[in-house]
Chains A and B, each alone.
Chain A
Amino acid sequence: MDSHQPLSDAQAGTATADREMIRFDKVVKRFGDNVVLNELDFTVSPGEFVTLIGPSGSGKTTILRLLMTLEKVDGGTIQVDGEYLSHMERGGKLVPADEKHLRKVRRHIGMVFQQFNLFPNMKVLQNITEAPMRVLGKSRAEAEERGRELLEMVGLSEKVDAHPSQLSGGQQQRVAIARALAMEPDVLLLDEVTSALDPELVAGVLAVLKDIATSTEITFLCVTHEMQFAKDVSDRVIMFDHGQVVEEAVPEKLFTSPEHERTREFLHAVIDREV
């Protein structure tokens, strides 16, 4: 995507080959007594496509929700492109981020949800133009032009004036992808985006995502149960269990010769289910 831009000039100036787009440092997340993430460390490089796999309850979706600031961390820090997400620096010390800071950092992150979450009171095009106009300050003409381009990209040009309720699940999800892209994110979070779809609609959505992943510099963090898709598009796959990284590797290696017994068990279970 040509409109893709780094966070700011200052940061672009310091960018190096080992720049990190996402960095988790000893991140802890609890829900009541249940420790979902236990001092989790991991990093993602700019433009990388990283898939998180693991049994349900292993904390994959929580990682995405923390990045989207839909949840708060209970310990540790998260950085996005060198900037603290969950915290901010004030007088040389790290303090929990306030709403203003969250808004600023969050703007560089987009998310596509399992349940699409389109706004049912808005037509398709308005779903896409709403945030660019209200948040990025684009003119209506500008936002609508870009919106139509994005709809064409996801193969839904003819649905510009439709209401979300008139679309199939797969179409709604493709609109949701276009809506997230309209905000020109540096990072796109995909939270089980095909899990709520009828099987015959999954392929269309995955094809669109694959297309975007290969044609843009967006950094992807993806939680999915579509192992074939993960194999096709991922630069790296991370296996989680109990809020910890079990192992990580390029997909060819992780899917064919995983090092850990836990990963083998999990892959067996998932692939058996697919067959």
Chain B
Amino acid sequence: MNWDWDYAIDSLPLLFQGIVVTVELTVLGALLAYALGLVLALVRQVRVPVLSQLVYLFVEFIRSTPLLIQVFAFYYLLQPALGLRLSPFVTGFVMLGIHYATYTSEVYRAGIDAVPKGQWEAARALSLPRGRVWTGVILPQAVPRVLPSLGNYTISMFKETPLLLAIGVLDVLNRAQEAASETFRYVEPVTLAGVFFLLVSYPASILVRKLERRAGTV
């Protein structure tokens, strides 16, 4: 096996397009997962009748099936059935976001449960309105605690973007495949794509560990 530098450099522009897509998918997917996860957690925590049970079933269903199958089913079965036509990119980050929201909702739940009971009681003793108890007392204590866990899920999400090839999203690894399919030389583009994931994931996980040490919990 030999390494061809010229070929590696030639494949960089195509890889770069893929990198942009990977980063966009991760950022948009993560934002959706953070927001939707919080909503799911609150619906369950506040015990909204019926809705709370539905959310429970939804979370269990999503968590027990592979993301690849969900993406596939959503794109090729559910969208036509609903008359939707979302692009592969939009489908990709929405599915990443929904899938990971079921994990982040559990993370938020753990964070909320970790707020001491006395905080609820003090808020109640002061007659604070229920909404304000959440936004002023509980969440400002729960969310910082769970930032490391959210960070870990963001890294997982980042590394899972290649499976969106199933619906034709060209992230960095899929771009590498594409480059290789023309020349049948896989080593350079695929290696470079791997190096890219490593260069992002490793510093990110160091950052998460720092956050963990600062939060000192969960």
Contacts and interface: CB of A to CB of B under 8 A. Distances in A.
Interface of A: 68-70, 103, 106-107, 109-111, 113, 115, 117-122, 130-131, 134-135, 176, 179-180, 183
A31 to B, nearest CB: 15
B184 to A, nearest CB: 58
A176 B125 CA distance: 11
In the A-B complex, list the 6 residue pairs whose CB atoms are closest, starting with the nearest.
A117-B122, A131-B126, A117-B118, A121-B140, A111-B125, A135-B127
Contacts of B123: 119
Interface of B: 116, 118-119, 121-129, 132, 136-137, 140-141
Nearest to A176: B122
Contacts of A117: 116, 118-119, 121-122
Given A121-B140, A130-B136, A183 B126 contact: yes
B124 A69 contact: yes
Contacts of B137: 119, 121
B26 to A, nearest CB: 29
B125 A68 contact: yes
A70 B124 contact: yes
Question: Would you call the interface of chain A mostly helix, strand, loop, or mixed?
Answer: loop
Nearest to B136: A130
9 contacts: A68-B124, A110-B126, A111-B125, A121-B140, A130-B136, A131-B128, A135-B126, A179-B126, A183-B126
A119 B122 contact: yes
Nearest to A104: B127
A132 to B, nearest CB: 9
A183 B121 contact: no
Nearest to B132: A134
Contacts of B125: 68, 70, 106, 109-111, 113, 180
A117 B123 CA distance: 9
B169 to A, nearest CB: 40
A237 to B, nearest CB: 24
A12 to B, nearest CB: 21
Contacts of B126: 110, 130-131, 135, 179-180, 183
A113 B122 contact: yes
Residue among B124, B129, B140 with max Cβ neighbours from chain A (10 Å): B124
Nearest to A108: B127
